[in-house]
A = this chain, B = another copy of it.
Amino acid sequence: LLILDQTLLPHEVREIALATTGEVAEAIRSLRIRGAPAIGIAAAYGLVVAAGAVGRGASPAERLAAVRDAHDLLLATRPTAVNLRHALRRTLAAAAPGPDLAALLLAEARALHEEDRLSCERMAHLALRHVRDGGTYLTHCNAGALATGGIGTALGVFHLAAGRGFRLRVYADETRPLLQGARLTAWELAQSGVAVTLLCDSAAASVLAAGRVEAVFVGADRIAANGDVANKVGTWPLSLAAREAKVPFFVVAPWSTFDLSLPSGRDIPIEERSPGEVLSFAGRRTAAPGADAANPAFDVTPAALVTAIVTERGIIAPVTPATVAALASG
């Protein structure tokens, strides 16, 4: 399994090979590969790796048990993005003991990957009605090609529009602590010819208030049955500022991001990452001695603050338990 190591971007574009399930798990935990759809796809391929890594003398049952262990290991890597669970469950369900185990898993992982690619295309086409030539937009974190198996969720519409010749400017929140906006979104959008202006996360509200942005587009890591959206920390205060500034706030996310088993966003588990991500920068401590840090990686934006959710199945607007349920059954 070859992945682009996103922790090295934009300074270095390096692919790394992951030969064991443990290496896949480490790559997901350390954000070498990240983005809700992308970690689902990587985990699915991780099951293929697990099936292949078992010794030749293993019985079919032992081989399947190793895949089940890999499922559990990979599922535990990151708690918030539900795409991970969907992808692992679905790929494991395709498994059957026997000589074709790895081939079955690979076919399912590839199908999942291809479906995600098509979902991105479909979402971008649906979102295109909210983007115009010459327009200026704002995004948070990285919900692009690097985060998915295709052209991205929130960024997919910008790639699509730029490909059609639209001149766009996108304000990108730098996205502390790991600077996915400054490192990844800016890198990715520049390649499509989109003009990118970075902002400190706390400056996004000012830019919205100044009327310089026509709409906000963000991705999602998990969406509850009532339409509450968990996404990268900072999304909720951004949505509050967008409401104050009367700027539309769009969430773009594939159907695999929905978790209808959870009635509301309050039930979504929020990953707490290492304080070191906040206290240090590039290996050097930046914070004063003695201080510790809290580092929640996600927050929850209430459905009422979301103008619309764009999925590959269609657009949910307004976002309510009823409109989510209608798309689920439709």
Contact (Cβ within 8 A) A200 B233 = yes
Question: Which listed residue (B187, B205, B300) contacts A299, Cβ 8 A?
Answer: B205
Q: How far is the CA of A10 from the CA of B286 in the complex (A)?
A: 8
Segment at the B interface, from A37-45, A59-67, A191-199, A252-260: A191-199
Question: Which listed residue (B200, B236, B241) contacts A177, Cβ 8 A?
Answer: B200
Cβ of A282: which chain B residues have Cβ within 8 Å of it? 281-282, 284
Nearest B residue to A235, CB-CB: B202
Assess whether A58 is interfacial by the CB under 8 Å rule: no
Cβ of A209: which chain B residues have Cβ within 8 Å of it? 236, 299-300
Cβ of A176: which chain B residues have Cβ within 8 Å of it? 174, 176, 200-202
Other A-B pairs beyond A172-B291, A205-B299, A240-B240, 16, CB < 8 Å? A176-B201, A176-B202, A183-B287, A186-B291, A190-B290, A197-B292, A198-B275, A198-B291, A200-B201, A201-B201, A201-B202, A201-B234, A203-B295, A207-B296, A237-B240, A240-B244
- Which residues of chain A in 275-330 are interfacial with respect to chain B, using CB atoms and an 8 Å cutoff? 275, 278-279, 281-282, 284, 286-296, 299-300
Contact (Cβ within 8 A) B237 A202 = yes
A-B contact pairs, 21 of them (CB 8 A): A10-B287, A172-B291, A182-B278, A182-B286, A183-B287, A183-B288, A184-B288, A186-B287, A187-B288, A196-B290, A197-B292, A199-B294, A201-B201, A203-B233, A203-B296, A206-B299, A207-B296, A209-B300, A237-B241, A281-B281, A282-B282
Cβ of A238: which chain B residues have Cβ within 8 Å of it? 202, 237
Contacts A10-B288, A241-B236 given; indicate if A202 touches B203 (C-beta within 8 A): no
Q: What are the 6 A-B residue pairs with the smallest beta carbon separation, nearest first? A: A202-B234, A187-B288, A186-B288, A186-B291, A10-B288, A190-B290
Copies of this chain present:
2
Contact (Cβ within 8 A) B197 A293 = yes
Nearest B residue to A188, CB-CB: B288
Question: How many chain A residues touch the partner (CB < 8 A)?
Answer: 57
Contact (Cβ within 8 A) A292 B202 = no
Contacts A183-B286, A287-B186, A288-B183 given; indicate if A200 touches B240 (C-beta within 8 A): no
Assess whether A31 is interfacial by the CB under 8 Å rule: no
Q: How far is the CA of A184 from the CA of B209 in the complex (A)?
A: 29
Contacts A172-B291, A244-B240 given; indicate if A278 touches B198 (C-beta within 8 A): yes
Most buried by B among A184, A202, A295: A202
Contact (Cβ within 8 A) A294 B203 = yes
Cβ of A300: which chain B residues have Cβ within 8 Å of it? 209
Q: What is the CB-to-nearest-CB distance from A247 to chain B, in angstroms, rounded to a whole number?
A: 13
Nearest B residue to A193, CB-CB: B290
Question: Which listed residue (B198, B234, B278, B289) contacts A293, Cβ 8 A?
Answer: B198
Cβ of A295: which chain B residues have Cβ within 8 Å of it? 199-200, 203
Contact (Cβ within 8 A) A174 B278 = yes
Q: What is the CB-to-nearest-CB distance from A14 to chain B, in angstroms, rounded to a whole number?
A: 15
Cβ of A182: which chain B residues have Cβ within 8 Å of it? 278-279, 286-288, 291
Nearest B residue to A196, CB-CB: B291
Assess whether A171 is interfacial by the CB under 8 Å rule: yes
